[in-house]
Amino acid sequence: MVTRYTRGPTWFDFLEQISGCNDGRWYFRGQSDKDWPLQPGVGRQDKLGLSAYSLDDELRLFRDFKIEVLRFHSDINTDLELLALAQHHRLPTRLLDWTENPLVAAWFACNDETDGRTGRIHMIYSAQDQIDAAPDLNPFDAVEGTPVTLVRVPGRAARITAQQGIFSLHPNPVDHWEPWAVQDPDLPPSYLFIDIPPEEKPFFCQMLHILGINHSRMMGGLDGVCDTLSRRYKER
């Protein structure tokens, strides 16, 4: 017996929305709570604890990561690639994850389908001609006032490749990024979003699972495989 969830209109709104974002310059980020700001982890208060953010502390954290990561990834040696790897393994960094695949963003907005929160899929248009990062780019070298930029790193880490990931690089991690605040009213929108009500998250998850977007695909490893098999068992 297959478990069927209430079909809400948001799934079809989502499909219609992304159908107009198919020129290769749109990027997507899913957040399970629409009220969360676009702010990287290393500057967020829940990661900082009782101390204020400082660049010295951030650099010390990254230095310690580089020492430890040699045991697992001796083949990755540029700071940006290592920072991206750290981000994908939940270390607080000055990066935010984005994806070229809107279905991946929808999964991140909905995979905690019983959390009772309204999710949000952010969509940004990039006018950058080149987002592939230069090999010598120093992610900590940006001066105050430098805008947030999008960067793509080489896909040597499997999880980054699986999620078709790119990153926004934030010169000041304490700031909340508001890409909607810099839109030119005389130009087409460069920022869009769609909210997913909590009661529609299970249906989104079911549709995404059918389309092959699941924990096993997104996160890899045995935990992801078991999560995907458990869902298959539940919906048998």
pTM of the model: 0.84
Res 50: pLDDT: 86
Inside any domain, residue 4:
no
Tell me: the pLDDT tens digits for 75-101?
777 888 889 888 888 889 999 999 999
Res 38: pLDDT: 97
Inside any domain, residue 137:
yes
Res 5 pLDDT > 70: no
Confidence category of residue 236, pLDDT binned at 50, 70, 90: very low
Bridge partners for 132 per DSSP? 152
Inside any domain, residue 33:
yes
**DSSP type of residue 32:** S
CA trace torsion 113, 114, 120, 123 (10° rounding)? -10
Res 177 pLDDT > 60: yes
Res 113: pLDDT: 87
Tell me: the pLDDT tens digits for 180-226?
887 676 667 789 999 999 999 999 998 998 888 887 776 665 555 55
Inside any domain, residue 31:
yes
Domain that holds residue 70: 10-234
Domain count, the chain: 1
Inside any domain, residue 73:
yes
Confidence category of residue 163, pLDDT binned at 50, 70, 90: low
Inside any domain, residue 81:
yes
Per-residue b/e over 13-45, b at no fewer than 16 CB within 10 Å?
Answer: ebeebbeebeeeebbbbbbbebeeebbbbbbbe
**DSSP type of residue 173:** T
Inside any domain, residue 3:
no
The rounded distance, in Å, linking the Cα atoms of 220 and 130 is 29
Inside any domain, residue 2:
no
Least confident piece of the model among 49-58, 60-69, 88-97, 141-150: 141-150
More confident residue, 19 or 162: 19
